[in-house]
Amino acid sequence: MDWNQVYVNLMSEGLDEADMPNMPAVWKPFLREHGFRSYIIPDTCPGCYTVRDFCEEHPIGTYVLAINGHTNHVVAVVDGSYYDTFDSGDETPVFYMKKE
């Protein structure tokens, strides 16, 4: 699905839920409907596990990471590389969704 189609779908879902499309209550169900499952990242070392660490540990697959301290910000990870609007490699993910 291309960016425009995802955007339209999230806007529609946000309208149905009376919420903004970047809120987890909107995008998490959308991802679930498209084959993603949620996983918690253990809080064994708060702040020391980064997006870069996640990428090194997950060299294959498609993921969406929720970032600590940015309640409405997510990072895409595809085959060990992260994609974001800024260099979020040092940010701390708190949970992720994996394309199954």
CA distances from 28 to 1, 54, 66, 87 (A): 16, 19, 10, 23
For 12, other C-beta atoms within 10 Å of its C-beta total 13
Helices 24-33 + 3-17 axis angle, to 10: 120
- Print pLDDT tens along the chain (100 aa): 888 999 999 999 999 999 999 898 999 999 999 999 999 998 888 778 999 999 999 999 999 999 987 668 999 999 999 999 999 999 999 999 999 9
Do residues 29 and 16 touch, judged by C-beta distance below 8 A?
no
pLDDT tens sequence across 68-95: 876 689 999 999 999 999 999 999 999 9
- DSSP β-bridge partners for residue 37: 98
Distance of CA 28 to the CA centre of its chain: 9
Do residues 64 and 36 touch, judged by C-beta distance below 8 A?
yes
> Any idea where the domains of the chain sit in the sequence?
1-34, 36-100
**What's the confidence (pLDDT) of residue 45?**
82
This prediction's pTM: 0.89
**What's the confidence (pLDDT) of residue 42?**
86
- Percent of the chain past pLDDT 70, that is, above it, reads 98
Taking the C-alpha atoms of residue 87 and residue 33, their distance in angstroms, rounded to an integer, is 29
